[in-house]
Structure 1
Amino acid sequence: MMQSIPTRAGDVRCEINGAGSPIVLLHATLHSRHDYDAVIPRLSASYQTIAIDWPWHGDSYRPSADGRPTADLFGEVLEDVVTFLDLPPAIFIGNSVGGFAAARLAIRHPARVKALILVNPGGFVTLDWITKIFTHLLAIPLVNKWVMPSLVWRYMAPQSELDKAISTQVSELAKTDVGAGIAASVWKSFLDPSFDLRSSASSIKAPTLLIMGKRDIVIPVKVGHSTQRLISGSKLEILDTGHVVFASKPDDFVDVVEAFIREV
């Protein structure tokens, strides 16, 4: 079932499947809810899955040119979605900027979060001078348009047919002025102090599972190790994939996720 949900950034579209305890699925920049297509059938057999398209992404509303997609705005949109749907404490699976939004919700509204599954998440990267320069460059639309189409294939390290389809779609979008503008704006927001969740990570009390794809060059495995140290009691799983673990190895991913859910 598709549903349109009003938020402060305009309507967002989400796909709802199954019944039971809710699992909210959050995707990366320039990606879409379809990143989760390979795992939704298994997860929705036991749970209600809610796969969201961020504003400016997928089938969601594209605000005017005056609007600016940022990581913080996605976090606010997530708050609006869970409020509108009046969800009970839910499990959140967040990839990349989606992981940032899920962790931000656990910090600011802990009663909303039953458990966190953070997949190569943003918000916990140490910005050394090299990372800062790289981020500043990708915050420039012209540079982003030149770099992102090839960077996508590097961080995805595609293995499955879905991986390849995602890489192709995101790479083609990144070549357009619209796509480069969206990506550059989100990358620029990575430099905002509010994007750095490391100092607040200790306040995350929800059971947390970190899943890292060891072939990801944008958010490498070392970020998973450092994040595990920051979030008390969190667990870390490393799979031989790129950035979108659940598209590369869906069965392995769901096996790990379901074992974690049963445990918590």
Structure 2
Amino acid sequence: MATAVSALGPVDHVELPDGVIRYHATGSGPPIVFVHGIIANADVWRGIVPRLRDRYRCITPDWPLGGHTDPMRPGTDFSLFGLADLVQRTLTALDLTAPTLVGNDTGGAICQAVAARHPERIGALVLTPCDAFDNFLPWPIRHLQLFGRTPAGLKVLAETLRLRAVQRLPIAFGLLTRRPIPADIMAGYTGPLREHPAIRRDFAHLVRTISPAFTREAAEGLRTFPHPTLIAWARQNFFPLAHGERLAGLIPDARLRIIEDSGPFVTEDQPQQTAALIDEFLKEAAVH
């Protein structure tokens, strides 16, 4: 199930050597590109974009992280830095000049890798709770690297995610939000793994490459990242606040802001607070 034409704007696509990247775009002004995490899609940002599109051009791709519907071509590099290169190629294909990159969950780790490897391609960085340092993947969901190594294992995993009770377990989405994610949104996140063998193959390739060696390398690269950065973190243990504090201390021009009463998916639990912090940051940073 692809993301619907909605508050995110109409669907378009870009053709890359890796395959098709579908995206939504709406609004006008300085561009913001959003990067979601695994087993999710652009709908992660549905509460954020309507609060920013009056002042910014909001671009929300469906990245190939398990919630996508267009499989990538054979040979696609699904490692953290391979995905960072894919984001960079997408920015180039969309002819974006110095966009702000906003990441959550696995998408935040990808954004760190983009900032470390391609700092010239972005103008500002926003990291909400995400994988960092040695926390890639967080321990409650490391079983994904067992089940996710084969399409057959992923099929079993995806079928269990049909059940709302399973979705709220700590080993699924239960630790990611304080409040349940709507059923139709969850169907959009988890449906592609159930319905498309090629998506399961993509995701199996992805989970086999996950390693904290990549997030540690990305963190080292952030020490010289030259652009304004917002670390908008929540008080939770899935992506520890200490990691947000550490990132804020690592990046030269970074500031830390706390999002209250939220799990790691701040876009689900506190979209108004999250959007307000992004808007405030971009105004202070004078991003044009």
Scaled by the length of structure 1, what TM-score is found?
0.83
Q: Distance in 2 between matches of 1:182 and 1:51?
A: 20
The 3 A distance-change label for structure 1 pair 116 and 69 is same
**25-34 vs 226-235, greater mean Cα deviation:** 226-235
Count of aligned pairs between the two proteins: 261
Equivalent residue in structure 1 for 2:103, among 52, 72, 94: 94
Question: In structure 1, what is the equivalent of residue 157 of structure 2?
Answer: 145
Q: Distance in 2 between matches of 1:247 and 1:4?
A: 25
1:18 deviates by 0.8
Equivalent residue in structure 1 for 2:93, among 65, 73, 84: 84
Q: Distance in 1 between matches of 2:245 and 2:193?
A: 30
Structure 2 counterpart of 1:258, which letter? Answer: D
Alignment of 1:221-236 (within 5 A): 221-236=241-256
CA contact (8 A) 1:152 1:167 kept: no
The 3 A distance-change label for structure 1 pair 204 and 108 is same
The 3 A distance-change label for structure 1 pair 227 and 55 is same
Alignment of 1:182-221 (within 5 A): 182-191=202-211, 193-196=213-216, 197-215=218-236, 217=238, 219-221=239-241
Equivalent residue in structure 1 for 2:82, among 48, 73, 83: 73
Q: Distance in 2 between matches of 1:223 and 1:184?
A: 27
Question: In structure 1, what is the equivalent of residue 120 of structure 2?
Answer: 111
CA contact (8 A) 2:236 2:264 kept: yes
Q: Distance in 2 between matches of 1:126 and 1:252?
A: 25
Question: In structure 2, what is the equivalent of residue 32 of structure 1?
Answer: 41
Gapped regions of structure 1 (runs ≥ 5): none
**Cα deviation code 1:159-214 (max 9, x no counterpart):** 2654x654565456667795665555433322163343122220112111112232
Question: In structure 2, what is the equivalent of residue 62 of structure 1?
Answer: 71
Q: Give the CA RMSD over aligned residues.
A: 3.2
CA contact (8 A) 1:9 1:73 kept: no
1:11 deviates by 0.9
Residues 1:8 and 2:17 aligned together: yes
Specify which structure has the higher proportion of helix. 1
Equivalent residue in structure 1 for 2:57, among 40, 48, 52: 48
The 3 A distance-change label for structure 1 pair 45 and 69 is same
CA contact (8 A) 1:156 1:243 kept: yes
Q: Secondary structure at the match of 1:80?
A: helix
CA contact (8 A) 1:8 1:77 kept: no
% same residue: 20
The 3 A distance-change label for structure 1 pair 14 and 78 is same
1:145 deviates by 2.6
Question: In structure 2, what is the equivalent of residue 250 of structure 1?
Answer: 271
CA contact (8 A) 1:145 1:176 kept: no
CA contact (8 A) 1:16 1:49 kept: yes
**178-187 vs 192-201, greater mean Cα deviation:** 178-187
Q: Distance in 1 between matches of 2:177 and 2:196?
A: 25
Q: Distance in 2 between matches of 1:194 and 1:17?
A: 33
Scaled by the length of structure 2, what TM-score is found?
0.76
CA contact (8 A) 2:71 2:202 kept: no
1:155 deviates by 2.6
The 3 A distance-change label for structure 1 pair 68 and 104 is closer
1:53 deviates by 0.7
1:154 deviates by 2.3
CA contact (8 A) 2:42 2:62 kept: yes
The 3 A distance-change label for structure 1 pair 7 and 185 is same
The 3 A distance-change label for structure 1 pair 58 and 167 is closer
**Cα deviation code 1:215-245 (max 9, x no counterpart):** 352x222221222222123122222212221
